[in-house]
Chain A
Amino acid sequence: MRTLRILLEKEFRQIFRNPAILRLIFMMPSIQLIVLPLAADYEVKNIKIAVVDQDHSSYSRQLVNKISASKYFDLASYTSSYNEALEEVEKDRADVVLQIPANFEKDIVRHDESNLFMALNAINGVKANLGGVYLRSIINDFNNEIRLDWIQMPRFNPQPMIQVSSINWFNPMLNYQYFMVPGILVILVTMVGSFLSALNIVREKEVGTIEQINVTPIRKHQFILGKLIPFWVLGIVVLTIGMILARLFYGIVPDGSLLTIYLFAVIYLLSVLGLGLLISTYTETQQQAMLISFFMMMIFILLGGLYTSIDSMPAWAQTFTKFNPVSYFIEVMRMVVLKGSTLYDIRYHLLIVAAFGVFLNTWAVINYRKRT
């Protein structure tokens, strides 16, 4: 016990004397949590539209007004030549071209039918897709409005019709930040835990201090515990800072109990730290350790369900996420924060992550050799 205490004392001293680590611990959560959720937003707004109006009628003007009044579209240009509009797209000044042909109004009035042409810049697939959908729904609306002008609707629909209304549970306003912030918090805790622990033992190897440690009677598990506990504490500190920031900036208050989140985080950190320690037992320099943990983090984050839904991944990727501790914590965070899940609801997540922790740490202790 005395040995462990002096190891921890030493480790904390070193951490507090290292301004880079301290800065990282306080700056990283602040910057990532304040900036990222604002920027990483899937809602597509400000789609630039170029309108080719060859009709110049009151209907075409009505339609254009309706489009530019919506918060999704900015009218980038208004011409009567399709080529001019296409040039706007080529110069990236417009994302969507809407062509209103000549006789648009006349055709509607006379033949009850008219055509519109829509061209989408598909370089950004998401934007093109969503822009098309939004534009279609605006045109639909417009269509209904002018139909009302011309046709006297019967009191009841002539054909039976099903009308669907929906309600968004757990995130009624579909606030994207409620979805992102808990996920980013997980990434933060993961990065701090795994990077710092991976770099730590390797640093002792690189500086040569491990040589002096290895000739002492210190036990392997004491040494590994001495490395693990400080970063465990730091991970919890980062989580706390993150939760406070989420509350202050986004008003996110977990629906479920804080205790559930912290309990899961404590178990989860064990597995992440185990991974970091394992990496550091296999590498010889900080550079190697950094590159390997960075590589793993990229995969864990991209396949962790933070940005893209796991359910829409191909089957092999879904199988992979089962071995990705990050995906469990992201899911648990969202469950507890948005849905108010209890410990009972996340029991399987907890068990699996605990198993990861035991497995990775045992491997790290076995692989850390005091002699070669």
Chain B
Amino acid sequence: MESIQVDHVDKSFQSGKSPVEALKNITFNVKQGELFGLIGPDGAGKTTLFRILTTLMLADKGDAWVDGYHVVKDYEQIRKRVGYMPGRFSLYQDLTVEENLSFFATLFNTTLEENYELVKDIYVQIEPFKKRRAGALSGGMKQKLALSCALIHRPSVLFLDEPTTGVDAVSRQEFWQLLRGLQKQGITILVSTPYMDEASLCDRVALMQNGSIMKIDSPGGIISQFQKPLWAVQGDNMYQLMHDLRHDSRVDTCYPFGQYHHVTFNESTIDIESLKKEFQQKGVHSITIDRTEPTIEDCFMELMNQ
């Protein structure tokens, strides 16, 4: 069963005199109980899509259904059964952890006790601070509180807009584990992130860029579509190396990737040793060139160029 259905949705904003197309013909489905990721850089249109699906914004064209309800006609039903965690922390900073939770629980006509099972794993982590004002919590704790508040009414669909932005690496790891736990309880989760490395943690992802979806598949499926062999190149002068690689006629693409440059070549067979020598003559030393497995980021870069 489809939990989220988006059908040819368009949305544009007026920015100055020229309209900006935030979403162009977006179509995708999310299955019940799926952990679906929207991956894309800032400005790809992720937040706009979230706002349309959570009934906060009207699309210009197209239809969308959440949990079987239409986002315009049955918006009241949707508001009862979705949880939304906006990208910006939007709980009351001058209320305590406990007060925030009970406030949102009451708005949904429930109590913390009633759905304690669901939020237990998250709540136990913030419980020691329950008398503390939300504004005084650390970034990771704020995220956990926001997630608890979004879950307090046992939503069937959870919308998380960049939940891990600005959160440290350990907390991010923990956060994704929490999401996995929630998924086991049958909650459909739509999560957006600008971090490509988080894509592999989703069941399926949609790669977004400039308001359109470039590709929808499982992370493995997306990576398997990366046809060319990928090489990781490293040297002592990375900037010079990048310059030389990009100007080399044999090189198809070259992107910086952490400590390496990820490179694909036009020709299928490459003489590694002679390549090394050539670059050494140009002044880059201690060069290593190794085969590497492509990641979602490599796929994203490739798709962007098409």
Q: What are the residues of chain B within 8 A of A210 when measuring CB–CB?
A: 90
Residue-by-residue, is A328-346 near B (CB-CB < 8 Å gives 1, otherwise 0)?
Answer: 0000000000000000000
Q: Is B104 within 8 A of A212, CB to CB?
A: yes
| Given A10-B103, A211-B86, A215-B79, residue A371 in contact with residue B95 (CB < 8 A) | no
| Given A14-B94, A207-B93, A208-B90, residue A214 in contact with residue B108 (CB < 8 A) | no
Closest to A16 in B: B94
| Given A3-B107, A207-B90, residue A371 in contact with residue B56 (CB < 8 A) | yes
Q: What are the residues of chain A within 8 A of B103 when measuring CB–CB?
A: 6, 10
A65-105 interface with B by 8 A CB criterion = none
| Given A214-B56, A372-B57, residue A2 in contact with residue B109 (CB < 8 A) | yes
* Residue among A208, A217, A370, A372 having the largest count of chain B Cβ atoms under 10 Å: A217
Q: What are the residues of chain A within 8 A of B107 when measuring CB–CB?
A: 3, 6, 213, 216-218
B114 within 8 A of A: no
A17 within 8 A of B: yes
A209 within 8 A of B: yes
Q: What are the residues of chain A within 8 A of B104 when measuring CB–CB?
A: 212, 216
Q: Is B95 within 8 A of A14, CB to CB?
A: yes
Residue-by-residue, is B130-150 near A (CB-CB < 8 Å gives 1, otherwise 0)?
Answer: 000000000000000000010
A166 within 8 A of B: no
Q: What are the residues of chain B within 8 A of A2 when measuring CB–CB?
A: 106, 109
How many residues of B are counted as interface, with CB atoms below 8 angstroms from the partner's CB atoms?
29
**In whole angstroms, what is the CA distance A298 to B209 when docked?**
50
Q: Is B82 within 8 A of A215, CB to CB?
A: yes
**In whole angstroms, what is the CA distance A371 to B53 when docked?**
11
Closest to B57 in A: A372
B156 within 8 A of A: no
Closest to B80 in A: A217
**In whole angstroms, what is the CA distance A2 to B108 when docked?**
10
Q: What are the residues of chain A within 8 A of B79 when measuring CB–CB?
A: 215-217
A200-236 interface with B by 8 A CB criterion = 207-218
Majority secondary structure of chain B interface residues (helix, strand, loop or mixed): loop
Nearest CB in chain A: distance from B55 CB, A = 6
**In whole angstroms, what is the CA distance A217 to B76 when docked?**
6
A175 within 8 A of B: no
* Residue among B86, B92, B107 having the largest count of chain A Cβ atoms under 10 Å: B107
Q: Is B94 within 8 A of A371, CB to CB?
A: no
Residue-by-residue, is B69-113 near A (CB-CB < 8 Å gives 1, otherwise 0)?
Answer: 000000110011010101011111111000100111011110000
| Given A14-B95, A216-B108, residue A371 in contact with residue B55 (CB < 8 A) | yes
Q: Is A217 within 8 A of B108, CB to CB?
A: yes
**In whole angstroms, what is the CA distance A87 to B82 when docked?**
81
Candidates B82, B88, B106; contact of A6 at CB < 8 Å: B106
Q: Is B92 within 8 A of A209, CB to CB?
A: yes
Candidates A3, A18, A212; contact of B91 at CB < 8 Å: A212
Closest to A372 in B: B57
Nearest CB in chain B: distance from A125 CB, A = 50
A292-351 interface with B by 8 A CB criterion = none
Q: What are the residues of chain A within 8 A of B149 when measuring CB–CB?
A: 212
Closest to B75 in A: A371
Closest to B92 in A: A209
Q: Is A212 within 8 A of B108, CB to CB?
A: no
Q: Is B91 within 8 A of A209, CB to CB?
A: yes
Q: What are the residues of chain A within 8 A of B95 when measuring CB–CB?
A: 10, 13-14
Q: What are the residues of chain A within 8 A of B93 when measuring CB–CB?
A: 207
Q: What are the residues of chain A within 8 A of B84 when measuring CB–CB?
A: 211-212, 215
Q: Is A17 within 8 A of B106, CB to CB?
A: no
**In whole angstroms, what is the CA distance A371 to B109 when docked?**
22
B54 within 8 A of A: yes
Q: Is A10 within 8 A of B99, CB to CB?
A: yes
Q: What are the residues of chain A within 8 A of B178 when measuring CB–CB?
A: none
Q: Is B86 within 8 A of A212, CB to CB?
A: yes
Q: Is B92 within 8 A of A215, CB to CB?
A: no
Q: Is A208 within 8 A of B56, CB to CB?
A: no
**In whole angstroms, what is the CA distance A82 to B84 when docked?**
83
Q: What are the residues of chain A within 8 A of B90 when measuring CB–CB?
A: 207-212
Closest to B89 in A: A208
B58 within 8 A of A: yes
Q: Is B92 within 8 A of A14, CB to CB?
A: yes
Q: Is B106 within 8 A of A18, CB to CB?
A: no
Q: Is B56 within 8 A of A370, CB to CB?
A: yes
Q: What are the residues of chain B within 8 A of A218 when measuring CB–CB?
A: 107
Q: Is B58 within 8 A of A371, CB to CB?
A: yes
5 contacting pairs across A/B (C-beta < 8 A): A6-B102, A6-B103, A209-B91, A212-B91, A372-B56
Q: Which chain B residues have a beta carbon within 8 Å of chain A's beta carbons?
A: 54-58, 75-76, 79-80, 82, 84, 86, 88-95, 99, 102-104, 106-109, 149
* 3 shortest interchain CB distances as A-B pairs: A208-B90, A6-B106, A216-B107
Beyond the given pairs A6-B102, A371-B75, 14 more chain A to chain B contacts, judged by CB atoms under 8 angstroms and listed by A's residue number, are A6-B107, A208-B86, A210-B90, A211-B90, A212-B90, A212-B104, A214-B56, A215-B54, A215-B55, A215-B79, A215-B82, A216-B104, A217-B80, A372-B58
